[in-house]
Amino acid sequence: MKKKVLVLHGPNLNLLGKREPQIYGTTTLEELHQQMNDLALRFDVELTFFQSNHEGEIIDKIHEGMGTYDGLILNPGAFTHYSYAIRDAIAGTKIPTVEVHISNIYQRESFRHQSVIAPVAIGQISGLGMFGYIAALYFFVDLFKQG
């Protein structure tokens, strides 16, 4: 049976390619999705993409994913640092989650150094640019092979 992964992007990630390219690069969200889909097809993994600037919509999408998705790749954006509600949604649904950040959050402003999501995630990828999403997808492919 085909494995399914939800790729969830938090606030301001709809501006990728335009917003602070010195930090986030010039790749757009649509280009990232195409790269991920190309890779997912090779491994027979189905991806669903969702981006929202609204915390409640992100939580709703995580809830909807319970029993549907085998994995979650999540870039919570600024919600990383204070959204206990998103953290609780992940913990409550038990969807295996990899937290992804394009920039290295530990080399930025001190308020970005704390993640409330990390304790309920399988792992965190930070600072690898867009490749962090690809690395997370490879992680799930390997996890699915293990059964």
Domains and CATH numbers, the chain: 3-146 (3.40.50.9100)
Element (H, E) at 50: strand 45-51
When mean pLDDT is compared across 6-10, 44-48, 103-107, the lowest value belongs to 103-107
Question: Which of these is catalytic: 63, 81, 82, 101?
Answer: 101
> How confident is the model at residue 16, as a pLDDT?
92
CB 12 within 8 A of CB 78: yes
Per-residue pLDDT, averaged over 132-140, amounts to: 98
Say what the pTM is.
0.94
Classify burial at 9, counting beta carbons within 10 Å of its beta carbon; exposed 0-12, middle 13-18, buried 19 or more.
buried
Mark whether 113 is an active-site residue.
no
Question: Pairing mode, if any, of strands 45-51 and 71-75?
Answer: unpaired
CB 99 within 8 A of CB 81: no
Model confidence pLDDT, tens digit, residues 18-42: 988 888 889 999 999 999 999 999 9
> How confident is the model at residue 42, as a pLDDT?
96
Question: Which of these is catalytic: 9, 24, 69, 133?
Answer: 24
Mark whether 138 is an active-site residue.
no
